[in-house]
Structure 1
Amino acid sequence: MLRDSGSTLALPKEGGTDVVNVGEDVPWHFAANVLDYAPIMKGTNDYLAEQFDRETEDLRRQAQEDEHQFGVEDGDWTQRAIRAINTARDKLSEQKSEDTIGVLEASTARAKQPAGQQFHFYMAPPHLYLSPLDIRILKTKFGDFSNFPSTLLPRVEHISTGHVVDDALRKRAKYLGHLPYGCVVSFLECDWTDIVPAEILEAFKPDVERRRKAHQDKAAQEERERVQAERMEAAAIGRGARRHFDQDHDEGIDSAPILNSDDFQPLSSVAGTTPPNPRPGFEQLATLSTSPSASRTVWGTPAIPVSPTLRPTQEQEINDGWLKEDEVFGPAEIAMQMEAFGLDGSDSGPANGPAPTKGKKKKKQKITLMSTGGHRGG
Structure 2
Amino acid sequence: MSQDKNLDPSSLSSKNKTFEGGKKFPLKGNAFQHRGSQKLSKQHRPKKERQTKAYADDAEFNIEDELLSGNFRARGRKTQISINHLLDFQLPERPHDVHNAGSVRRRSRKNDNDFVHLHGDSFINANSKFIVDDRFSYDEQSIDPNLPLSGEKIVRVVVPRGQSCPICLTEDMVAPRMVSCGHIFCMTCMLNFFAVEDKPANAKADATTYVKKKRYKECPLCSTIIRKTDTKAVNFVEGNPKQGVPEIGKESNFQLMCRPHTSMLPLPVSLNVDPLSLGNFPPVELAELAPYCRIMKCSRDYALTLYQRDIKDIETQNEIDKALYNDNGKYAKLAIEDIQKELCESSATGEKDLSAGLSQLSLDVGLEKFDESNAFFFYETAFDATTKYYLSPLDVKILLTAFGGYSRFPPILNVKVENVHHGSVVTESLIQRYKYFGHLPIGSELAFVDIDWRNSDVLPMEVYKKFASELTSRRRKSTWKKQREDKEKTLYQKRLEQEQAEFYQRENGNVSPPTNAIIPSKPVPLQSLSHKADKEISEVAKPKSRMERTVWGTSIPIVEQSSDTDTGEDKDLEDLLQSLNQHQGGKQGKKKKKKMVTLLSSGQSRGSF
The 1:67–1:241 alpha-carbon spacing in structure 2 relative to 1, beyond 3 Å, is closer
1:6, CA displacement in angstroms?
4.9
Provide the C-alpha distance between the structure 2 equivalents of 1:189 and 1:238, rounded to a whole number of angstroms: 42
The 1:3–1:19 alpha-carbon spacing in structure 2 relative to 1, beyond 3 Å, is closer
1:200, CA displacement in angstroms?
0.5
Counterpart pick for 1:73 among 326, 329, 347:
329
Provide the C-alpha distance between the structure 1 equivalents of 2:355 and 2:493, rounded to a whole number of angstroms: 68
Partner deviation per Cα, 1:13-64 (whole Å, 9 max, x = no partner): 224415531xx22222234733222121112344344434434433433333
List aligned pairs for 1:230-309, cutoff 5 A: 230-246=493-509
Letter in 1 for 2:312: E
Q: Partner of 1:143 in structure 2?
A: 404
Provide the C-alpha distance between the structure 1 equivalents of 2:444 and 2:266, rounded to a whole number of angstroms: 15
Length, aligned pairs only: 242
Which secondary structure state, in structure 2, belongs to the residue aligned with residue 51 of structure 1? helix
Q: Partner of 1:229 in structure 2?
A: 492
Q: Partner of 2:294 in structure 1?
A: 39
The 1:43–1:226 alpha-carbon spacing in structure 2 relative to 1, beyond 3 Å, is closer
Provide the C-alpha distance between the structure 1 equivalents of 2:300 and 2:493, rounded to a whole number of angstroms: 62
Q: Partner of 1:8 in structure 2?
A: 264
Letter in 2 for 1:122: Y
Counterpart pick for 1:154 among 404, 411, 415:
415
The 1:232–1:36 alpha-carbon spacing in structure 2 relative to 1, beyond 3 Å, is closer
Q: Partner of 1:123 in structure 2?
A: 380
1:247, CA displacement in angstroms?
5.7
* Conserved? CA contact 1:123–1:130, under 8 Å: yes
Q: Partner of 1:214 in structure 2?
A: 477
Letter in 2 for 1:74: K
* Conserved? CA contact 2:263–2:275, under 8 Å: no
1:103, CA displacement in angstroms?
9.1
1:83, CA displacement in angstroms?
1.6
Counterpart pick for 1:182 among 430, 436, 443:
443
Larger radius of gyration: 1
Per the normalisation by structure 2, the TM-score is 0.35
* Conserved? CA contact 1:159–1:187, under 8 Å: yes
Letter in 2 for 1:176: F
Partner deviation per Cα, 1:88-108 (whole Å, 9 max, x = no partner): 46x12x44657x79999xx99
Letter in 2 for 1:194: D
Provide the C-alpha distance between the structure 1 equivalents of 2:441 and 2:308, rounded to a whole number of angstroms: 32
Counterpart pick for 1:26 among 281, 301, 304:
281
Q: Partner of 1:283 in structure 2?
A: none
Counterpart pick for 1:17 among 264, 270, 274:
274
Provide the C-alpha distance between the structure 1 equivalents of 2:343 and 2:490, rounded to a whole number of angstroms: 62
Letter in 1 for 2:288: N
Letter in 2 for 1:162: G
1:85, CA displacement in angstroms?
4.3
Counterpart pick for 2:315 among 28, 51, 60:
60
Provide the C-alpha distance between the structure 1 equivalents of 2:344 and 2:503, rounded to a whole number of angstroms: 66
Letter in 2 for 1:214: K
Letter in 2 for 1:9: L
User: Structure 1 residues 184-193 or 65-74, which shifts more?
Assistant: 65-74
Q: Partner of 1:83 in structure 2?
A: 340
Provide the C-alpha distance between the structure 1 equivalents of 2:503 and 2:309, rounded to a whole number of angstroms: 60
Partner deviation per Cα, 1:288-316 (whole Å, 9 max, x = no partner): xxxxxxxxx999xxxxxxxxxxxxxxxxx
RMSD in angstroms over aligned alpha carbons? 3.6
Provide the C-alpha distance between the structure 1 equivalents of 2:414 and 2:509, rounded to a whole number of angstroms: 63
Which secondary structure state, in structure 2, belongs to the residue aligned with residue 41 of structure 1? strand
Letter in 1 for 2:405: D
1:203, CA displacement in angstroms?
0.9
The 1:67–1:34 alpha-carbon spacing in structure 2 relative to 1, beyond 3 Å, is farther
User: Higher helix share goes to which structure?
Assistant: 1
Consecutive aligned runs of 4 or more in structure 1 exceeding 4 Å deviation: 100-104
Counterpart pick for 1:198 among 461, 466, 478:
461
1:208, CA displacement in angstroms?
0.8
* Conserved? CA contact 1:3–1:118, under 8 Å: yes
1:146, CA displacement in angstroms?
1.6
Provide the C-alpha distance between the structure 2 equivalents of 1:19 and 1:237, rounded to a whole number of angstroms: 62
1:87, CA displacement in angstroms?
0.9
Provide the C-alpha distance between the structure 2 equivalents of 1:2 and 1:117, rounded to a whole number of angstroms: 10
Per the normalisation by structure 1, the TM-score is 0.55
Provide the C-alpha distance between the structure 2 equivalents of 1:19 and 1:168, rounded to a whole number of angstroms: 27
The 1:123–1:96 alpha-carbon spacing in structure 2 relative to 1, beyond 3 Å, is closer
- Identity rate, percent: 27
User: Higher strand share goes to which structure?
Assistant: 2
* Conserved? CA contact 1:63–1:78, under 8 Å: no
1:78, CA displacement in angstroms?
3.1
* Conserved? CA contact 1:56–1:85, under 8 Å: no
The 1:136–1:45 alpha-carbon spacing in structure 2 relative to 1, beyond 3 Å, is same
Letter in 2 for 1:65: I
Counterpart pick for 2:394 among 104, 111, 133:
133
Partner deviation per Cα, 1:73-124 (whole Å, 9 max, x = no partner): 12521331342243146x12x44657x79999xx99xx9xx98831111111
> Which 5+ residue runs of structure 1 have no aligned equivalent?
250-296, 300-378
Which secondary structure state, in structure 2, belongs to the residue aligned with residue 218 of structure 1? helix
The 1:69–1:117 alpha-carbon spacing in structure 2 relative to 1, beyond 3 Å, is farther
* Conserved? CA contact 2:390–2:448, under 8 Å: yes
The 1:39–1:6 alpha-carbon spacing in structure 2 relative to 1, beyond 3 Å, is same
1:225, CA displacement in angstroms?
1.6
Provide the C-alpha distance between the structure 1 equivalents of 2:302 and 2:502, rounded to a whole number of angstroms: 68
Provide the C-alpha distance between the structure 1 equivalents of 2:273 and 2:317, rounded to a whole number of angstroms: 38
1:179, CA displacement in angstroms?
1.8
The 1:201–1:72 alpha-carbon spacing in structure 2 relative to 1, beyond 3 Å, is same
Partner deviation per Cα, 1:127-153 (whole Å, 9 max, x = no partner): 211111111111222222222222111
Q: Partner of 2:30 in structure 1?
A: none
1:199, CA displacement in angstroms?
0.6
Provide the C-alpha distance between the structure 1 equivalents of 2:375 and 2:265, rounded to a whole number of angstroms: 11
The 1:248–1:140 alpha-carbon spacing in structure 2 relative to 1, beyond 3 Å, is closer
> Which 5+ residue runs of structure 2 have no aligned equivalent?
1-256, 513-533, 539-609
Is 1:163 aligned to 2:424, yes or no? yes
